[in-house]
Amino acid sequence: MRIVVLVSGRGSNFQAIIDNIAAGNLSVTCAEMITDNPRADAIQRARENGITVTVIDYHAYSSRLSYEVDLLSRLDELRPDLVVRAGYMRIIGNEIVLAYKGRMINIHPSLLPSFPGLHAQAQALEYGVKVSGCTVHFVDEEMDGGPVILQRCVAVRDDDSEETLAERILLEEHIALSHAIQLFCDGKLKICNRRVLIL
């Protein structure tokens, strides 16, 4: 199975995928990393690991639509089995979502449906929840709203800052995302309405 990974910045989730492939824990090929950000640290990570990078610089486009035309055409050229959003900070329009429905997953740093959108860890602290975590889900038309594949929990501590909570959630993200990719590639995920059954 071939995956394409979409990344916007640091790329620690992308690195975890690379490391799991190298360690033999994840049996997929990463065909390419696509980023919307020419300054993303993830570019260096890809180069160091011999993974092709395509930069589709969001800010070089006059509209989201024209950006997405190029993103979709690159994805279609690559013909991945699965598109993995790993810290990709853009909302994707319906044309791409529909083209890759059931074949695109996202990692989010909260237990959805709590705290969708940006600053999920800060939202969790502000609300005062005692448990947060991460969610891997299929991407649908609603932001952070698609069927949930896996979730991993993290206890919130009294002395947590946004940074310390984000750090502990990130460790769980690194495990959950690779696990979900492996389940998908093994054909073990069955979407039944909102539920994802793990066969």
For the bound state, the minimum distance from the C-beta of residue 199 to ligand GRF, rounded and expressed in Å, comes to: 26
Nearer to ligand GRF, 75 or 86 (CB): 86
For the bound state, the minimum distance from the C-beta of residue 198 to ligand GRF, rounded and expressed in Å, comes to: 21
Nearer to ligand GRF, 159 or 163 (CB): 163
Q: Is the peptide bond before 147 cis (omega within 30 degrees of 0)?
A: no
Binding residues for ligand GRF (CB under 6 A): 9-13, 86-87, 107-109, 170, 173
Nearer to ligand GRF, 63 or 163 (CB): 163
To the query of whether residue 108 is one of the catalytic residues in this protein, the response is: yes
Nearer to ligand GRF, 68 or 173 (CB): 173
Nearer to ligand GRF, 9 or 102 (CB): 9
Residue nearest to ligand GRF (CB): 87
Q: DSSP labels for the chain?
A: -EEEEEE-S--HHHHHHHHHHHTTS---EEEEEEES-TT-THHHHHHHTT--EEE--GGGSSSHHHHHHHHHHHHHHH--SEEEESS--S---HHHHHHTTTSEEEEESS-TTSS-SS-HHHHHHHHT-SEEEEEEEE--SSTT-SPEEEEEEEEPPTT--HHHHHHHHHHHHHHHHHHHHHHHHTT-EEEETTEEEE-
Among candidate residues 108, 119, 137, 174, the one labeled active-site is 108
For the bound state, the minimum distance from the C-beta of residue 149 to ligand GRF, rounded and expressed in Å, comes to: 14
CB-based contacts of 192, cutoff 8 Å, min separation 6: none
For the bound state, the minimum distance from the C-beta of residue 12 to ligand GRF, rounded and expressed in Å, comes to: 3
For the bound state, the minimum distance from the C-beta of residue 2 to ligand GRF, rounded and expressed in Å, comes to: 20
Q: How far apart are CA 170 and CA 168, in angstroms?
A: 5
Query: Which residues are tagged catalytic?
Result: 108
